[in-house]
Amino acid sequence: MEWGYYLAAAIAMISVGCSAIGEGLVCCHAIDGMSRNPEMAGKLRTNMILGCALVETTAIYALLVAILCLFVH
Amino acid sequence: MPFLGFLDTSKGLSGEVISSLIVMGIIMILSFIVAIQAHYHDPLKKPKGLLFLTEVGINFFDRLVSEMMGPKFKGFGGYIMAVAVYLFIAFIFGLTGLPSPVTNLAVPLSLALCTFILIHATSVKYTKFKYFKRYIEPIPVFLPVNLISMWAPLLSMSLRLFGNAISGWALMSIVYSALQNLSGMLFSWAQIGAWNQIFIAPFITPFLHAYFDLFSGLIQTTIFIFLTMINIGLEAPEEDTVNS
C-alpha cells in the first residue's frame, strides 16, 4: 500500500494549482489598479504582497498535507 | 521527524527549541547594549550605530501601529516590534546551519497563541460582559459553529509560519542532496572519496537561501505582524461609537 501515500500527496498538490490561479488573479487586478491610478502604486503593491501571501496559505496547507502523507506513516 | 519533535521529550529539548533560546539570548544582549548606550547617550547629540537603528525601528513600528490599529492601541508598538524582530532573526537563523526555530511547530504555535490571547483580552476589555454575545451571533443556533471558528486564527497563523518554514527546509534538503549526488557523479575521477560531493552546491544554493530564508522570512514576518494588528484592531469598537 506504499503507493497510496504517494497518490494522496499527488492529489493534495492539485490545490496548489488552484491557489496559483488565485494568486495570478490578485496580481492581475492589482496591476490593473496600478496602471489606472499610478499614484496609489505603493499602497497597492503592499496590499498585493499581503494578499498574495494570504492566498499562498492554501498552497502551504496542501504542501503540509503532502509532506505529512509522504513522511509520516 | 524534525517538525513533530517537540512532542518527544525522551531525548531532552529538541534542537529547534535550543536555537530559539539562542535567538532570545542574541536579542536580549542586543537590547542590553542599546539600553546601556541610551543611558549614557547625550540626548542633544545625534545617535549613531545600533542606537540609531533602534530609534528608526521604534518610530517605524509606532507609526505602523497607529496607522493600522488607531490611536487607542498606542502601547502595542513594543509587542509588535518584539515579535517582528524575533521572527525575522528566527527565520534567518537557518542560514547559520543550525535548525531554524520556526521549523518546530511549538514556536509558531506559541507566537500565534500570544496573538490569540491578545485578541480575546482586547475583546473582553472593550465589550465587558457583552463578550459572550459573540458566541451566539447572529442566532443562538450558531453556538457550536462559533465555538469551532473561534480557533481559526490560532490554527491559520501558526500553520502559515510553520508551513512556510518547513516547505523551505524540505526544498533545500532536496536540492542539497540532489547537488551532492550530481557533484559525486561529475567529480568521481578525482579519487578523493566522499569529498567529491561538495563542489556544486556552494555555487547554486546561496540564491535559493536568499529566497527561502531572507525573502520568505521577511514576507512572513510582515504577514504575521499585519494579521496580528488587524485581528486585534478589529476587536476594538469604532471611533464614532466610543464618542457617542
**Residue in chain A lying closest to B226 (CA):** A50
**B59 inside 8 A of chain A by CB:** no
Tens-digit pLDDT profile for residues B7-44: 555 667 778 888 899 999 999 999 999 999 888 888 88
| Percent of all residues in chain B with a pLDDT value above 90, rounded to a whole number | 16
What amino acid is encoded at B181 in this protein? N
How much is the mean pLDDT over chain B?
84
Contact B99, B15 (CB under 8 A): yes
Q: Is B173 on the interface with A (CB under 8 A)?
A: no
Find the residue in B nearest to A65 (Cα). B163
Confidence of residue A26 (pLDDT cuts 50, 70, 90): very high
CB B92, CB B217: distance < 8 Å:
yes
B3: left (phi over 0), alpha (psi -120 to 50) or beta: alpha
Question: What ipTM goes with this model?
Answer: 0.73
Nearest to B156 among A57, A63, A71 (CB): A57
Q: Minimal Cα–Cα distance from B36 to chain A, Å?
A: 36
- The domains located in chain A, with CATH, are 2-71 (1.20.20.10)
Give the global pTM: 0.82
Chain A positions touching B155 (Cβ under 8 A) are none
Contact B28, B39 (CB under 8 A): no
Each domain of chain B, given as residue ranges in start order, spans 5-238
Contact (CB<8Å) B1/A60: no
The span from the CA of B213 to the CA of B220, in Å, is 10
Rounded Cα distance between B19 and B23, Å, is 6
Q: Is the CB of A49 less than 8 angstroms away from the CB of B222? A: yes
CB-count burial class (<10 Å; 0-12, 13-18, 19+) for B90:
buried
CA distance B165 to A18: 21
Percentage of chain B beyond pLDDT 70 is 92
Question: Do residue B163 and residue A61 have CB atoms under 8 angstroms apart?
Answer: yes
Q: Write down the pLDDT at residue A71.
A: 78
Interface contact A54-B223, CB threshold 8 A: yes
Q: How confident is the model at residue B85 (pLDDT cuts 50, 70, 90)?
A: very high
Q: Min CA distance, B159 vs chain A (Å)?
A: 7
> What are B157-195's pLDDT values in tens digits?
888 888 888 888 888 888 888 888 888 888 888 777 777
Query: Which member of A49, A60, A72 has the closest CB to residue B164?
Result: A60
CA torsion sign for A37, A39, A44, A49 is positive
